[in-house]
Amino acid sequence: MKQFWTILLSCQILFSSCASILNGSSQKVKVVSPTNCQTYLNGKQVYLQAGYLTLSRNMIPQQFTFKREGYLDENKVAIQYKKSPLAVLSIIPFGVFVYPIFLDNGKKAYNYEKVISLVNQDYKVPSFGRFKLFPKFNQFELSEDMEFYNFNSYRSYYYFKTSDFQPTHYSVSLKRNELLTQLYFQEKLEVLINEKEYVRSSSLNLDKFKTELKIDVRLLDLELSEINTSSSYNGGFTQVKIELLWLLQDVYGNKLEEVTTFDSSGEFKFHNKKDYDQSVQSAIEDCLHKGYITFLNNEKVGNLMLNGFETKEVNFPLLLLNDSRAANTLKKAINSVVTVKLEEGHGSGVFISNDGYLVTNYHVVQNNKKVKIIDNSGKEYWAEVIRINKTKDLALLKADTEVEPIRFSMSPLQITQEVYAIGTPASTNLSQTVSRGIVSRIEKNDSKNKFVQFDASINSGNSGGALLNNKGELVGIVNAKLTGKGIEGIGFAIAIDQVYKGLSLNFAGVNKP
């Protein structure tokens, strides 16, 4: 009797594991992908044999990546989830007792899908070489009602593939998620928009109004799905869906286009808890990238960046100014440079007439009608914005005061000529800071704007400040600095003839060219 039960138990173990024992340790699957598409398996390139690839039956998710020139990579995960037909043999010795088939859970008991298919790659990367305008990332923010994101958890891949089974659903607070912070999105979008190969990021561009755009991105909705291999085995993959609002602006923050995108990421595997976070990050970065490509391929956005937007030359009536009491030394001229103060920052400005007219950059004042100025004595008063020329980055202001202005230079600049940059760099406490340098080059661009390149030290607060010669005469309005790793001492000023032509200025008794 004892021998009988021993034999019966042995048979039960044997026949309840038919698929686990008899199924092969690997499986050939057919891989279908577009022409000229390279296939990578778990990070290594693989070569198909007559369209087939052999996968190990080890219950570990297999990461496929499909690469094709001109398109974003597509990512899919292959998981064993179909019980092998050999499992049917487990019921033979037990007749109606079908339960042994459910005990057949070895690594070899399950098959992959017979076909791993990527029908097409929908995200075609635009070519930056054809664009006239180039976007730069500005800022990221959460929408006002974006306090929670949706989280779906599927117990097994089988449940995910079968519509009859619904996932476990949660609403998760973004504030409690240490991974999905606003800073994380900010950093990823900055790299994506500013450093990808189809965006020109390192070229010198002084005519920013005509060629550079700003992008603000707002997160509207996020859904994260976690698909587990099965209840018996670790691993699975993650996938996200993200809705974003993309706001395209000119360099001064004026709205040009607004586009909403909704995209799904590829599938990114995880094998255990240690690499789960990396899987989520990869899915999010992939989805952000797809959202950006969707935005760039929007018809209106594409036409704008391809053709640019019209910039009409502004024509003001001639304004006659009086600079009869202008400073006649460099030391006195320094006192005619002021700080232009705004709520969100500051710049510099230069008095050019006895009765309180001053010049600065448009990007300093932007759309403000009035700004506060601080003179060399620390006195604060208001100045009204009278004229703006966006294409030349110039603005004319008027303050109700009597001053000793700076006289425009009548002499042509020479390479290696000594110049002095005066302004308020970095902090308003550093007003009327002076740095000395030489003229390195006279730069002209396609728009016939003229810039003076110099090597005197400047910072962002110098914008709108004075570039003077050693007589204290104005030779330019500081407006830009070339920045980057290893770059020092390359500043630019709008040449003085561009200033009075761009704002239609002349001076009593003096015929400016």
Q: Which of 78-82, 224-228, 355-359 has the lowest mean pLDDT?
A: 78-82
| Helices (H), ranges, 91-199 | 100-103, 157-161, 182-195
Q: Which sequence spans correspond to the domains of the chain? A: 2-117, 128-307, 319-507
Which tens digit of pLDDT belongs to each residue from 361-399? Answer: 998 998 899 999 998 888 898 999 999 998 888 999 999
Q: What is the pLDDT of residue 108?
A: 77
Q: What is the pLDDT of residue 150?
A: 92
Q: How far is CA 330 from CA 339, 360, 430, 459, in A?
A: 18, 19, 18, 21
Q: Is the pLDDT of residue 66 over 90?
A: yes
Q: Is the pLDDT of residue 61 over 80?
A: yes
Helix (H) or strand (E) segment spanning residue 278: helix 276-296
Which position has the higher pLDDT, 130 or 67? 67
Contact assessment for residue 149 and residue 223, using Cβ atoms and an 8 Å cutoff: yes
Q: Is the pLDDT of residue 513 over 50?
A: no
Report the alpha-carbon distance of residue 156 to residue 83 in Å, rounded.
13
DSSP output for 263-276: EE---EEESSGGGH
Find residue 394's DSSP bridge partners.
Answer: 389
Q: What is the pLDDT of residue 164?
A: 73
Please check whether the two domains, 128-307 and 319-507, share a CATH topology.
no
Contact assessment for residue 496 and residue 411, using Cβ atoms and an 8 Å cutoff: no
What topology is assigned to 319-507 in CATH?
Thrombin, subunit H (2.40.10)
Q: Is the pLDDT of residue 81 over 70?
A: yes
DSSP output for 288-353: HHHHHHHHHTSHHHHHHHHH----PPP-PPPEEE--TT---SHHHHHTTEEEEEETTEEEEEEE-S
DSSP state of 167: P
Angle at alpha carbon of residue 253, lines to 136 and 145, rounded to 5°: 85
Angle between helices 276-296 and 299-307 (to 10 degrees): 70
Mean pLDDT is highest, among 58-67, 114-123, 500-509, for 58-67
Beta strands in 401-487, from DSSP E residues, in sequence order:
418-423, 433-444, 450-454, 466-468, 474-481
Structure tokens at 217: 């991105």
Section 303-313 average pLDDT: 74
Of 77, 320, 72, the residue nearest 192 (C-alpha): 72
How does residue 432 score in pLDDT terms, banded at 50, 70 and 90?
confident
CATH of domain 128-307: 3.40.50
Find residue 396's DSSP bridge partners.
Answer: 359, 387
Helix, strand or coil for residue 279? Answer: helix
Q: Is the pLDDT of residue 4 over 50?
A: no
Section 333-359 average pLDDT: 90
Q: What is the pLDDT of residue 5?
A: 45
Mean pLDDT is highest, among 198-207, 239-248, 456-465, for 239-248
Q: Is the pLDDT of residue 97 over 50?
A: no
Q: What is the pLDDT of residue 34?
A: 84
Of 352, 373, 372, 340, the residue nearest 462 (C-alpha): 340
Look up tokens 């008063």; give the residue: 381
Which tens digit of pLDDT belongs to each residue from 260-271? Answer: 999 999 999 998
Structure tokens at 97: 């007792």
Q: Is the pLDDT of residue 310 over 80?
A: no
Average pLDDT of the chain, as a whole number: 83
Q: What is the pLDDT of residue 206?
A: 60
Of 154, 177, 174, the residue nearest 164 (C-alpha): 154
Which position has the higher pLDDT, 495 or 302? 495
Beta strands 212-228 and 236-250 are antiparallel
Helix, strand or coil for residue 171? Answer: strand
Which tens digit of pLDDT belongs to each residue from 276-296? Answer: 999 999 999 999 999 999 998
Q: Which of 22-26, 289-293, 341-345, 369-373 has the lowest mean pLDDT?
A: 22-26
Residues of the chain above pLDDT 70, percent? 82
How does residue 98 score in pLDDT terms, banded at 50, 70 and 90?
very low
Q: Is the pLDDT of residue 247 over 60?
A: yes
Q: Count CB neighbours of 143 within 10 A.
A: 13
Q: Which of 48-57, 71-80, 82-91, 410-419 has the lowest mean pLDDT?
A: 82-91
How does residue 511 score in pLDDT terms, banded at 50, 70 and 90?
very low
Q: What is the pLDDT of residue 96?
A: 46
Which tens digit of pLDDT belongs to each residue from 121-160? Answer: 678 888 766 666 778 888 999 888 888 889 999 998 988 8
Report the alpha-carbon distance of residue 274 to residue 278 in Å, rounded.
8
Look up tokens 């996020």; give the residue: 222
Angle between helices 182-195 and 276-296 (to 10 degrees): 50
Which position has the higher pLDDT, 461 or 449? 461
Structure tokens at 320: 């006659």
Section 289-314 average pLDDT: 83
DSSP output for 13-43: HHHTTHHHHHS-SEEEEEEE--TT-EEEETT
